[in-house]
Structure formats: C-alpha cells, structure tokens
Amino acid sequence: MEKKRILTGDRPTGKLHIGHYFGSIRKRVEMQNSGDYDMYILIADVQALTDNFNNPEKVRKNVRELLMDYLACGLDPKKVTIYIQSMIPETAELTVYFSNLVTISRLQRNPTVKTEIAQKKELFGESVTYGFLGYPVSQAADIVTFEGELVPAGEDQEPLVEQAREIVRKFNNIYGDVLKEPKIVLSEGKRIKGLDGNEKMGKSLGNAIYLSDSEEEITKKVMSAITDPNRIKKDDLGNPDICMVAYYHKLFSTKEEVDTVCKECKEGKRGCVNCKKQLAKNIIEYLRPIREKRAYYEEHPELVDKILKEGTAKAKKTAEKTMEKVKKAMKLDYFE
C-alpha cells in the first residue's frame, strides 16, 4: 500500500519547549514509527524571516537548534525527510505562480493572518509587509511542492490549510487535474499552559520550560510557578484546580503522585515549596533522555550539518518532480 505523504514543520525562531513536545512533536515521532507515512518536515526559515527580517542571524542559528531538538525528541532522519525551506527554490517558484491565484482581500480575511497581524502590531505598525500578508501562499506552496496529502496541525492552522485547498482547486480548474488537495489532520495534543497560567507558552512571556534547559534552569522556573493565590500558609486548604504546579504534576508525575499531591493540597498537608521541588525532580528525569541526546548532537555539529544536507538534497529531488508537472501544465516547459 502506498504511504500517505505528510508535510509538517516549524519556524526556526527559538528552541522547542514542552508545549511543542506535547502538542506536536510526540505525535510526529509516533507517526514516523508507524511506518504508514512518508513524512517531510520543513525547517521554515523563509517564513521565519517574514517577522524576523531584521534579524537573519537569529533565524540562521536556530535552524540547527531546531534540528537538534527534533533529533533529541526521536525524529529519525532515516525515517523522515528534514529539510531547509530556503534551499528548495522550487517552493519559491511555486509561491510566485500561486500568488496569481489568490486576492489580497482574501488574504486579509484569513482569520489566522488577521490574528497574527494584530499580535505583531508592535513590529509592523500600520504597514504590514507583503511577505507576511502572503505567507499563506508560501505555505500552500510548501505543501504542494511535496504533494502533501496530510498536514498535521492545530485548529488555529485550519484557515491556512483551507486557503491552500482553495489555491489547489483554482490551479486545477485552470490547468487541469494536476495537484492534490491537502487535508488537515487536527493535532490530538492539547496546548500546554505556561508556568504563569497563561494559555500560551512562549519565550517572550518568560513562562516556558525548554527541552534543552539545564537542571538548574528547570528548578528555578518551577519554583517560580503560580500556585493557589489564596493559599498563604502551608496548612491553608488549597485548590489544586487553579494551581499550575498541580497542572504540571498531571503531565510529569505518576497517577499515584498526582492523587497524593491533590489530596494533601486540599487538606493543607503539603507545602508549595516541597510540591514544587518534587515536580522539578520529575520534569528533570522526564527530560533527561532528551537533554542527553541533544548534548550529543551539540558535541557533533558535523552530524547535524550532514543530516541537513542529505535531507535537503532528497527533498530537492522530490520538489523537482513536482515542478516538472506544474510547468508542463502551465505551458512553461519551453525546451522539453
């Protein structure tokens, strides 16, 4: 049976945190190991430049940081193809062709784009760049260049995948039934809250635990986590339902530990400091294999570069085959 082609990836704007791990990375490893899929994972450096255009060194450095996080989490370059977006010129070419198939007003109506523009107001002011407004077109080209049939993503990405489907339909209506319409596969992983209780975890909010954090960094961050604000003294009766430490215990502790933590908190028998220390210990042990594997790749940068080069070279061959079909359909194969 032919394997389903999957296209997924991340922007290299920083190291991965535990929200990324529980939200998408674990699922990718699971799908990779099932043997049922042909998975392409892009490191989306071009897309990262849409709102980091003034800091290219940050994007460049994080390409390797992101790959090391991937490898540390168990993504295997022998089973998946990991490549650098900017090294595939066919994607840029297809982006140009696709840009003729979508209007500016349609891009402005895209809910995800509208939300992200509002979030980036400090960066753009009233002058949003063409590159940022049009990144859904680039994303559609990413998917189609590799004939991605399935796109694992969260609900917030649904408008982007739907826009890609619209572009593909319009292309096929004009040039013939050439391209496959992608389908979104909604992520089963829930969004992990930040240590401060914020629904979003991120570097700019200072509320994230990163997969590569040291034991000292993890402990320091956990000790600053938000607990029940009404609990002042150790013997005050607590409410674990509004405590971020209890929330994280459910992710990193055994069921027996969670039951004990919640029971003792409610009865005023467990102090927050001891509770946090136990949580920090559990997180450190949970992430230890990931940190150790990442440290190995940090010590062997030549392996990181080799994986990037080989994955990108393989991806380039796939992209070239797709573009042959596209250019033939568009009557742009002048010397064939």
pLDDT in tens, 238-271: 788 889 999 999 999 999 999 998 998 888 888 8
Of the chain, the percentage scoring pLDDT greater than 90 comes to 66
DSSP calls for 228-245? -TT--STTSPP-GGG-HH
Domain with CATH 1.10.240.10 in the chain: 213-295
What pLDDT was estimated at residue 111?
A: 86
Average pLDDT, the chain: 91
Of the chain, the percentage scoring pLDDT greater than 70 comes to 98
Q: What is the mean pLDDT of residues 228-245?
A: 83
The third-level CATH classification (topology) of the domain covering 213-295 is Tyrosyl-Transfer RNA Synthetase (1.10.240)
Specify the amino acid at residue 84: I
Structure tokens at 302: 């030549």
Pick the CATH number of 4-193+301-329 from 2.120.10.30, 3.40.50.410, 3.40.50.620, 3.40.50.880: 3.40.50.620
Domain with CATH 3.40.50.620 in the chain: 4-193+301-329
Model confidence at 189, in pLDDT bands (50, 70, 90)?
Answer: low
pTM listed for this prediction = 0.89
Smallest Cα–Cα separation from 315: which of 76, 29, 72, 91? 91
The DSSP 8-state label assigned to residue 253 in this structure reads S
What pLDDT was estimated at residue 1?
A: 65
Reply yes or no on whether the pLDDT at 8 is more than 80. Answer: yes
What pLDDT was estimated at residue 268?
A: 84
Hunting for tokens 């990163």 — which residue is that? 210
Structure tokens at 23: 């939200």
Most confident of 49-58, 150-159, 213-222: 213-222
The DSSP 8-state label assigned to residue 224 in this structure reads T
